[in-house]
Amino acid sequence: MVSATELFNSNDEYKCTLSPELQKLAQEELREDENTRTQAIQQVRDWINKHPNIKKCRTDSIFLLRFLRTKKFSVPLTCEMIERYLTIRQLFPDWFTKLDIEDKDIADIIDNGYLVPLPKRDDDGRQVLLSCAGKFDPFKHSSSHMVRVHSLVMEALMDDEVNQIKGYTYINDESGLQMGHISLWSLKDVRNIMKCVQKSSPMRHKNSHFINIPQYAVKIFEFAISLLSDKLKSRIHLDKSIDELKAKVNPKILPEEYGGEGGSLKSMIEDCKKLLREKRDVILALDEMQIDINFKDNPLVSEMNEELGIGVEGSFRKLLVD
């Protein structure tokens, strides 16, 4: 087993263990073959080693493939995303660092079942994540705690090659959503987390289902969705009921509590905690990564700190009041 420290300054040779089906899919959708993969990994590794501002970064093949597969083996776009990924981790440490299943707040949120990876994949072979708003206590935990739980679970899943190639499906159960949840967020934080998800996270977001959205929150969700790219907007589904969801997602993979055959939520939570403990050292080692940031001239810093238009801010506040 490779230790966390061996992932830095790694020059490992990738060994393909993908099934023929996955190799075919990767070639068709991501332009990946053995020659392209080998050359691209080395090119990105060389770029990291020569980058004047990157002081420490994982360079193992699986880590680099997170980004290469997300960007369909465009080396320039991959390098851009890696730079953004390293930068946002330092710009928003409350969201992306010290991600630890042993942290009391994180453990409490996981135990409550707020975010659970389903053990069975959907019909397209994608990893499915179920989030339940009603399982998150907005009077006990902050928006930062919410983001940290998502960041932790995603970091635990992103080195899985099937996930890198197939992508992710999200099921968001908004029953139990209160104004307390919504008031945790400023518009600036909503905008910035959307930008992080779209431009800095090496993940293939394929489908997002929202169910049981309270009527008073529909316009707020529509407003948040409006901040997404057209591609991601087209992958958002606002389902009115569990039955409508089941028409799009195989009910057999859902928890028993949702009328599925995937097992109980309790067992899924225990599986999640086991995975997070197994990945704990590798995830915490990510905090060793470092990039020097020129706060005056860095375009990403300017992008994240740009002032919001008065009209946009006013519209958001009006939605909260209405």
Pick the residue with more confidence: 224 or 264? 264
**192-215 confidence digits (pLDDT tens):** 898 888 889 999 999 999 999 888
Please determine, for residue 243, whether its predicted confidence score (pLDDT) is greater than 80. Answer: yes
- Residue-averaged pLDDT of the chain: 91
Least confident of 36-40, 139-143, 162-166, 231-235: 231-235
- What is the CATH code of the structural domain delimited by 99-278? 3.40.525.10
Looking at residue 133, its pLDDT comes to: 95
**67-123 confidence digits (pLDDT tens):** 999 999 999 999 999 999 999 999 999 999 999 999 999 999 999 999 999 999 999
Please determine, for residue 318, whether its predicted confidence score (pLDDT) is greater than 50. Answer: no
Alpha-carbon span 308 to 228, nearest angstrom: 16
Instruction: Please compute the mean of the pLDDT values over residues 277-287 and round it to a whole number.
Output: 97
Tell me whether domains 4-95 and 99-278 share a fold: no
At 175 the three-state DSSP class reads: coil
**161-183 confidence digits (pLDDT tens):** 999 999 999 999 999 899 899 88
- Written as six digits, the tokens of 305 are 């700190």
Looking at residue 194, its pLDDT comes to: 86
CA–CA distance from 280 to each of 98, 159, 318 (Å)? 10, 13, 42
Crossing angle of the two packed helices 143-157 and 265-278, in degrees rounded to 10: 70
Looking at residue 311, its pLDDT comes to: 45
Alpha-carbon span 124 to 244, nearest angstrom: 18
**125-170 confidence digits (pLDDT tens):** 999 999 999 999 999 999 999 999 999 999 999 999 999 999 999 9
Domain ranges of the chain: 4-95, 99-278
| Cβ atoms within 10 Å of 8's Cβ, excluding its own | 15
Q: Is 286 exposed, middle or buried (0-12, 13-18, 19+ CB in 10 A)?
A: buried
**CA-based torsion, 112, 117, 120, 124: positive or negative:** positive
Please determine, for residue 21, whether its predicted confidence score (pLDDT) is greater than 90. Answer: yes
Looking at residue 321, its pLDDT comes to: 44
Alpha-carbon span 208 to 50, nearest angstrom: 38
Please determine, for residue 319, whether its predicted confidence score (pLDDT) is greater than 60. Answer: no
Residue 200 near residue 156, CB atoms below 8 Å: no
Looking at residue 303, its pLDDT comes to: 77
- What is the CATH code of the structural domain delimited by 4-95? 1.10.8
Please determine, for residue 314, whether its predicted confidence score (pLDDT) is greater than 70. Answer: no
Alpha-carbon span 135 to 131, nearest angstrom: 8
